Each structure stands twice: as C-alpha cells, then as structure tokens.
C-alpha cells in the first residue's frame, strides 16, 4: 500500500504540468491502513467540469462498508452532482443493504434516477450521467455500472475488467433500444438518436424512453 500511495502522490504532482490541470488530487487511507484510495479529476478542454466522484466509509452490523463512485456527466453537471449527493445516501438507507446488497444497489439506482427525473420534469435540462460504483461490504465487492465508465481490478500484474461498457453497437443493446422505438445511427461512432455514444445512462429526460437505466451488477468475493 505504501508503494501505491507514493505512486499516486507522484502522479498527482507531475501530471498536471504535462497537458491538463487537475481540479483535485487526493490520497487517503483507512484507520488501520488496510485500504488506501485516491482520485484525480480534470476538465480537459471542456468549458466546465461535469464529472463527480464520491467516496464513503462506514460500519454497519459490525461490517466495514466502503463505497466508491464515478459519475461522468454530459449536457451539464446537475445529473452527475445529484448522483454524488444522493445515490450512496439512498443505498445506505435501504433496509436490505446488508442482507441483500445486490438488490439494494439496483433499487437505489432506480430510486435515485426516478427522484431526479421527477424533480427536473418542468426544468427542461438535458443533463445525463454514467454511474460506476464499487461497493465493498466486508470482503464482498459489488461493481454496478450504467453507461461507459469502466472498472478494472489488478491481479498478478494483469488488469481485469469488472464492468461492461454499454454501447449502442452491441447487438443486445441495439435490439433493446430499437424495440422501444429508438434509433441507432453511425456518426463517427455508433450513437443513439445520432447523439449519445452510450446505450445506458441516468437522469436524462431527453433519452429516458430509449435508454435503460438498469445497473449491471458484478459481485466478487475478495
């Protein structure tokens, strides 16, 4: 863990001087030193930052709980920021969080999405966001994904994907979109309605009919 923390610190110090300016960079460790995590974010060439992250640590029923989330917004920052503020809050309040973690994650995604859309009905924004979360309950890891943000785990020097990008050129995703009246076209890359290059997202009023908000959840015992 010392190496990981040191490496992250070096990256945070050096990389901003190369191409982009980092908005933030942080490394933090748990009280017992058993878990270290870090993040960095930068807006690149965009006019404003539309992406958010969240990290929480708690204990519940004598189990250590760690929650990590990445929310890649588009069309504005409101959707991604709402996920940061409410997704884990809804999850931790779910009555079955410990007893049925997978179901509680799925239902918390749905509730957070529904609450945002209800609040935004008369505002006519076009914000949307991916949601990629890693929920660690004791030694059980649950990775949930909507959109094309990606999670990987490093094992024996090899990166292993824990999530699957939701892209409209995949046969099952394209079929689902077209079955509900959506259109997938090619414009530089495959896009839904000629606009979005992903087939699932949260919080988009414009694409709520054509898109699936269901999270794909991958459980893993560590």
Cα four-point dihedral sign 165, 177, 106, 40? positive
CA distances from 194 to 163, 171, 188, 198 (A): 25, 17, 10, 11
- pLDDT-derived band at 173, boundaries 50, 70, 90: confident
Indicate whether 61 pLDDT > 80: yes
Q: In the chain, which ranges are E strands? A: 24-29, 36-41, 51-60, 63-74, 128-129, 131-137, 140-146, 152-155, 158-161, 184-187, 189-192, 216-221
**pTM, two decimal places:** 0.79
Of 95-104, 154-163, 213-222, give the lowest mean pLDDT range: 213-222
Contact assessment for residue 37 and residue 28, using Cβ atoms and an 8 Å cutoff: yes
Indicate whether 146 pLDDT > 70: yes
Contact assessment for residue 187 and residue 157, using Cβ atoms and an 8 Å cutoff: no
Query: Residue for token digits 């943000």?
Result: 149
Contact assessment for residue 184 and residue 174, using Cβ atoms and an 8 Å cutoff: yes
Two structure tokens written together for 2: 């010392």
Averaged pLDDT score across all residues of the chain: 79
**199 SS3 class:** coil
Query: Residue for token digits 């094992």?
Result: 155
pLDDT of residue 208: 52
Indicate whether 91 pLDDT > 60: yes
Mind giving me the DSSP string for 37-74?
A: EEEEE--TTSSS--EEEEEEEEEETTEEEEEEEEEEEE
Of 18-22, 112-116, 190-194, 196-200, give the lowest mean pLDDT range: 18-22
Q: Which structural domains are found in the chain, ordered by start? A: 1-45 (no CATH), 48-164+211-221 (3.60.40.10)
Structure-model confidence comparison of residues 3 and 157, the more confident one: 157
Indicate whether 51 pLDDT > 50: yes
Provide, rounded to the nearest whole percent, the portion of the chain with pLDDT above 70: 78
């Amino acid at each position: 863990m010392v190496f990981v923390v040191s490496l992250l610190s070096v990256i945070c110090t050096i990389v901003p001087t190369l191409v982009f300016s980092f908005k933030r960079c942080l490394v933090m460790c748990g009280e017992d030193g058993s878990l270290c995590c870090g993040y960095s974010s930068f807006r690149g060439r965009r006019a404003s930052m539309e992406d958010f992250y969240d990290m929480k640590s708690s204990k519940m029923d004598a189990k250590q709980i760690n929650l990590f989330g990445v929310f890649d917004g588009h069309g504005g920052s409101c959707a991604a920021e709402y996920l940061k503020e409410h997704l884990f809050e809804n999850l931790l309040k779910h009555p079955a969080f410990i007893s049925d973690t997978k179901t509680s994650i799925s239902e918390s995604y749905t509730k957070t999405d529904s609450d945002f859309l209800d609040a935004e009905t008369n505002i006519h924004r076009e914000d949307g966001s991916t949601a990629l979360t890693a929920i660690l309950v004791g030694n059980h890891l649950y990775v949930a994904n909507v959109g094309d943000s990606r999670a990987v785990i490093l094992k024996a020097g090899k990166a292993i994907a824990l999530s699957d990008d939701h892209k409209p050129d995949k046969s099952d995703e394209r079929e689902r979109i077209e079955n509900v009246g959506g259109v997938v076209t090619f414009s530089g890359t495959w896009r839904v309605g000629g606009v979005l290059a992903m087939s699932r997202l949260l919080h988009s009023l414009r694409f709520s009919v054509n898109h699936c908000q269901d999270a794909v959840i991958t459980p893993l015992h560590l």
